[in-house]
């Protein structure tokens, strides 16, 4: 009986996910599409939770639904007529995109079916569980991300940095929002410290339970989004020179640790015995700050004042017009 109830819920989830995905893609109104997309992200987080992947659920809810949604909404705000561009939905481009998506989906389905049917699959999870005591952390996801496959995470941070450099190259920051009324202002004053606290908790708890740098960074970035929505143009970020340091902090920590391990006769990012826990926490702290700054700058959508000559004039003189 209980099992059947869960199955009903799973079927509902699967159906709703597909339906919301379809609604997000096919709605003629982009505003509506974005709202569907956010709902889709939240539902996907529930799906991950049902698949017993709380780390992914957290990341999907915070980044996939929350921050991507905020980014999309702010893009819509600056381009109110963006629906006019929406006509790529018909014609050869749309057909090509649909074809590519379908092919990709078919490949994934084929791979999944074959993996599930394999007679004696090598379960990576078993190997990770076996190696977990050596990793320095108790959370298998963190162990994979920052120990077994730390190189991948280093490159992910590099991708984030490249993306934010592209955003900064687009031009000056988007117009700030008008100052919040007393109610929203009160909520922001109340939520921002709470978000920072939650970020610290997620960073710390990532060592032995779901959490970690990406979720913590997303929480900090959410605080920045709240501040910017409340009329703080700089989203609570420090001044431009510090922003540069924070943006590169994650990669810098990774490379420094990697360099040190090589210098002491280990492989690149092969942590010496007994050091893993501390080094992972060091890298994760730096990565959290880097991810938060990256996401906040992405939300600001361009160079904030102080980054260069195209920044707004008043603050450029205040900081002394760098560059």
Residues near other proteins, by CB under 8 A: 181, 183-184, 187, 190-191, 194
Closest to other proteins by CB, 226 vs 290, is: 226
Closest to other proteins by CB, 104 vs 187, is: 187
CA atoms within 13 A on the CB side of 206: 34
Nearest approach, Cβ of residue 266 and other proteins (Å): 41
Cβ atoms of 45 and 63 closer than 8 Å:
no
Going by C-alpha positions, the residue among 193, 302, 180 that lies closest to residue 229 is: 180
Nearest approach, Cβ of residue 296 and other proteins (Å): 20
Nearest approach, Cβ of residue 68 and other proteins (Å): 19
Closest to other proteins by CB, 82 vs 187, is: 187
Cβ atoms of 272 and 266 closer than 8 Å:
yes
DSSP code of residue 303: B
Going by C-alpha positions, the residue among 296, 279, 156, 138 that lies closest to residue 217 is: 296
Closest to other proteins by CB, 191 vs 255, is: 191
Q: Is 322 helix (H, G, I), strand (E, B) or coil?
A: coil
Structure tokens at 300: 């600001």
Round to whole Å and give the CA distance between 125 and 147.
15
Nearest approach, Cβ of residue 190 and other proteins (Å): 7
Cβ atoms of 321 and 305 closer than 8 Å:
no
Closest to other proteins by CB, 33 vs 198, is: 198
Cβ atoms of 137 and 205 closer than 8 Å:
no
Nearest approach, Cβ of residue 189 and other proteins (Å): 11
């Amino acid at each position: 009986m209980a099992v059947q109830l869960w199955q009903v819920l799973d079927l509902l989830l699967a159906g709703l996910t597909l339906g919301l995905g379809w609604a997000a893609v096919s709605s003629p109104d982009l505003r509506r599409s974005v709202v569907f997309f956010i709902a889709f992200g939240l539902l996907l987080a529930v799906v991950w939770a049902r698949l017993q992947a709380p780390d992914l659920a957290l990341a999907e809810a915070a980044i996939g639904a929350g921050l991507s949604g905020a980014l999309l909404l702010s893009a819509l705000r600056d381009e109110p007529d963006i629906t006019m561009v929406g006509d790529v939905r018909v014609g050869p481009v749309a057909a090509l995109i649909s074809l590519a998506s379908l092919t990709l989906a078919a490949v994934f389905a084929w791979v999944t079916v074959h993996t599930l049917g394999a007679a004696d699959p090598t379960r990576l999870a078993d190997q990770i569980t076996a190696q977990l005591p050596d990793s320095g952390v108790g959370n298998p996801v963190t162990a994979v991300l920052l120990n077994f496959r730390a190189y991948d995470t280093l490159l992910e941070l590099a991708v984030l940095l490249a993306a934010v450099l592209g955003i900064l190259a687009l031009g000056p920051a988007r117009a700030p929002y008008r100052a919040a009324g007393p109610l929203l202002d009160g909520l922001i004053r109340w939520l921002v410290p709470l978000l920072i606290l939650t970020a610290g908790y997620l960073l710390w708890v990532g060592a032995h339970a779901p959490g970690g740098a990406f979720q913590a960074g997303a929480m900090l970035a959410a605080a920045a989004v709240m501040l910017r929505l409340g009329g703080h143009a700089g989203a609570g970020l420090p001044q431009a020179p510090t922003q540069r340091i924070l943006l590169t902090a994650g990669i810098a920590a990774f490379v420094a640790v990697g360099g040190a391990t090589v210098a002491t006769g280990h492989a690149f990012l092969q942590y010496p015995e007994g050091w893993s826990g501390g080094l992972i926490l060091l890298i994760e702290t730096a990565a959290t700050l880097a991810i938060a700054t990256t996401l906040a700058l992405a939300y600001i959508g361009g160079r904030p004042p102080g980054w260069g000559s195209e920044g707004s004039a008043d603050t450029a003189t205040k900081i002394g017009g760098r560059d």
